[in-house]
Amino acid sequence: MFLEFCGRPADQLDVQEVRQFLLYHIHEKKRSAITVNVYNAAIRFLFVVTLNRTFNPLQIPRQKMPKTLPQVLSRPKLHPFWSIATT
């Protein structure tokens, strides 16, 4: 997918093309942070392990995961649970 997007052999690619690929999937394809991080990890593996090239992780940072607060139930919604609880 990444190599098709760039249209060039892997040994000719640089960090700028990695950035363009990830930004395309973030803004155009509306991919989740988890998906973009998986793409990022796969591309890092390609560069570091397969092509034996240096890859500065600070140039292409991972996406921050969205944080959600836990849902807190109100007292009226919890009352049925408390009424059947035995101590």
Ordered by start, the domain boundaries in the chain are 2-65
Q: What is the pTM of this model?
A: 0.71
Residue type, 74: S
Answer yes or no: is pLDDT of 75 > 90. Answer: no
Beta carbons within 8 Å of 9's beta carbon, 6+ residues apart: 3
Q: What is the mean pLDDT of residues 31-54?
A: 92
Q: Are 21 and 5 in contact (CB under 8 A)?
A: yes
Whole-angstrom Cα distance, residue 10 to residue 14? 9
List of residues 6+ apart from 8 with CB closer than 8 A: 17
Q: Which comes out higher in pLDDT, residue 56 or 46?
A: 46
For the chain, how many residues are written? 87
